[in-house]
Structure 1
Amino acid sequence: MHPRRSAQEVLLCDLCETVPLQSHCELCNINLCVNCAVKHLSDSSKRHNVVPFLHRKSTPDYHICPDHAHKHCEIYCEKCDIPVCLTCVTSGKHKGHEISDVLEKLSAKTESLQKDLEELETRIYPRYEGMASDVQTEKAELERKYGKLTTDADQQGEILHREITAIVNQRKSAIAEMKTKHLDALNKNTDEITQKITELKQIMSDLKSILKSNDVSLTSTYKSRNSQFRTLPPKVRVTVPSLSPQKINKDQLNEMFGSLSPLSINTEHGDTMKSAEAVSSPPVKPLLDEPRVTATIDIGYTPYSVSCLSEDQVWTHGENETMKLLNLQSKLLTSIQTKSGNRPHDIAVTRDGDLVYTDYKDRTVNLIKNKQIQTVITLQGWRPVNVCCTAGNGLLVTMDSDDWKQSKVVRYSGSTEKQSIQFDDQGRPLYSSGGFYNYKYISENKNLDICVADNDYSAVVVVNQSGKLRFRYTGHPSNTNQSFYPRGITTDSQSHILTADSDNDRIHILDQDGQFLRYIHCDLDTPLGLCVDIRDNLFVAELFTAKVKKIQYL
């Protein structure tokens, strides 16, 4: 702050700097005392406009002309795009150039500056902050993802170790069995030879006794048995088996273990945001001619809803009170039961990665954070049906009245109701009346439209952020098999609206204005719940196959 402008001191004249000010020259933008004001007005070279200080206007700070001392630049040369003084114009330097009043130019420039500031504050800077936040989120996920890779490698190693150990034990068992048979054969051969030796010893003893006795009778009756023993007993020859180890082929072993995809670090060109005057839109991702299934998750029960936690993890729920988090390999990661024991009517994942579920019977909407369940909304006279999370981290909830005669959409910020959407401009209901099996799946589009798949109305009902009806989509004329009863609904980065046509086993893709674009088939079987991850991969819960399919369609 200027030392002479302190609130603790009297404001002084800018010229003499000793006497309190009383006047202000709007041309020169200086404050004057009475005496200095008289002297100031005596300068006839300028058209000074001295007014009481309290009546001064907000005057632009004209800068002094660099070519003509003490002259203010009150004119703007459009050709040279600079402020100039009157002498500059009359001296010929800017002769023939288009000129304008500097105040008018200042006003236009000020408006442009204001627009630039507004765009920087509301659109550009938040995108940079968002990008920084995304990088921090990715860094926070780094340990978990690489830890999972290491765990997967350890598990694969354990599997191979178990297989090798099983093979080794099998070989050792076979070796032990062969050894036993070998020993049995040798023992049998030994017994035969031992028996012959015993007989030979007896014969030799008998012959010695006869020879000593000189008994004619024994000698005359002796019969030789040597011929029986001249042929030796058969000798058992057993060849010890050998192990013929194969040379380890490291390539095959690596292939058996499984490959690790290379680390890919690409620096993408930054998105160029359109100016504030242009319509803001994300990078265009064209629709694929042939959408394809990239993964199938076997969840083991009939799924009614699916909501993405990440590109490879989804929450689902079925007929009971349990909600399950599974990965693309169908591995159960987490399961959580509802607080009441009732089955959830619908689920959604917040921007912070927490799970939200509606309890129709209990009239509550609940938030699950760190596996702790917190009831955030409790209704009176109404029951929550379906739910989605908004770009502003709030909730949109479809609900039925207790008598099932009314339905509406309510916007919440935390536990606070912010908006209720029920009727069109003519006072007619926007949505069909309620019922326990009357699902009204809901999604907020990127343009902040609110999209509801109302199967009893056989329509997708879309209202804008203010709740004003934009359009109803009642199916494509090519619907010839069954009527159009939309179920699950979701939206993507291109503001496409995707809705599940369960009876016709396909997904309808619409643009943000309700124009039909194309179908997704992919051998779907009664698609019901839908969600899209941050990379616009579509997850589809099939009612009767107990599967969730991941589909690339952009």
Structure 2
Amino acid sequence: QMAFSKSQIPFTAQHYLVCGTEDCEKNCQFYCNDCHHPMCEQCRDEHQRSPDTRNHEVVPYQQRKRQLPEVKCHTHVNRYLDMLCEQCQVPVCSKCAIKDHGGHTFTDLETVYAEKCGVCLNEINKIEEYFLPTSQDLLKSTKEDSNEIKKIMDSIRASMKAEAESLKRMVDALTSDNIKQVNEQEKSLLQLLNSQDKKYNDYISYLNELVKKFHDYLSSKNLQILMDEITKNLKIDPIPETTKPVPPVFTAGQYSKEDVTKLLGRVTVPDTKPVNREIKPMETVSTHNKQDREKSAMKQTLSLSSSFTKVREYKVPVIDSVHHISLGKSGRLWASDHIGNLVQTDLQGNQLQKIQTNGRFEGHHTVTQDGDLIFTDRKNKVINRIKQDNTITEFIKTGDWEPISIHSSRINGDILVGMIQGGEAKVTRYNKTGKEIQNIQRDNKGQGLYSDPHFITENINGDICTSDYKKHAVVVVNKSGQHIFSYKGQGSIFPFGICTDIVGHILVCDDNNIKVDILDQDGQFLSQQGVIFFYPRGLCVDDKNNLHVGNYQSNTVMVFKYLF
């Protein structure tokens, strides 16, 4: 936990760069390279009018020359190194120059130091602007190729199974036809044999009757009848002739593994030489990264103002309070109230569309990198997407957990969702396709990190910043889910809307003090801003570094400049 009262803030901690002149607290804009002194515009003018300093080199602060560190000479410990021997290429003090470097020429060490620092900064810029982004692009390319290979292999496996199923169906059909044919042949042969059975049964019955008749003759006492019948019936019918049926013969198929392979197909590796991944020339990348460089330069020069400066205000139609704001593309934004109304407007307050959700006081909607709006449906435990053609589709199912807050990462498009279930709470990370990739619920001691993560955002370094109303804290974890700090305000805080800016500040609405607290990315309190006759609840920063603040007692959004 890192929560500081004003008395605990070290005197060196400044929330914006101030003039170095005694008793002057104006914003620093300039720097004297001779005095190594930061100054405001007024002090610069006085500095250049003074006879003692009129010839000093005064430059914009970001172009300042770095001051030479005070390093004592190893030999003459009461002297500082301030010269560079050009022949020996070693830093020396004035005594070393006289004693050990006679006849040598010397250069001002501070000038050389500034040049070397410039070379270092140039190399750092090359690494940050070319080598790192290019390597990261290549890494991204390998990951994309990995995903593509997985898709291709899945497709091959599916094709193999489909071929096997097709052949199996063909085999089953052919086997069924063959069995049907055998059944018919069996039926015909059995019918033939049954008829032969009847013929022989009838003949045997005839013989049995004939034997009986002859026995009767033998027992008769009428000799005339015996003589007459024996003469007349002595002929016995011949045994019927039948044919033995010829059964069919099954000839087994003749096939080899190669024959089956031909039927099912085979996997082959193309005889193609792998192509090297394209590495863009530094000049090309520099051109493409011009906007990134401008943003990077802006990060280095922007400082926090001592107060908010109102730029303008606008009203969001239909709703009567602004609890959460999501900025989209082309100067459009979404704003929501406490009863589920979600309205899209332009920056003049003209209504573009409106939908009804079951959202409440939470930060339950966000705009993705593609410009689509996604919002939580805690009742049905899903996350919906509104595409730019205004169609609404179900995007992610959250199972048994109720999604209450959501944020789409500006770094990689991941989706961060604050959820609750019973007395438990967590933050879940999904990738841009909706696949769950991370759950953050407990600290390294097994304690629950969250109780009510009802607003959520991400800082420029990947930290996940969450307003937790029940814990009365802003809970911050790194991108791996490790707890970094919890900010509990200047006394106490009821945190609501939360956002971050281009230099890593964390801005959060304090419902207890009706103000906006500003922290650095390490959790140190920088300042607290109140807005007269205004009750801040929803927050977001636009691409011009203006802060939009929604009012929970009206439909007004005020826009402030706070970075200079």
> TM class, shorter-chain normalised?
0.3 to 0.5
* TM-score for both structures, normalised by structure 1: 0.47
Of structures 1 and 2, the one with the larger relative CO (CA 8 A, separation 6+) is: 2
- TM-score normalised according to structure 2 size: 0.46
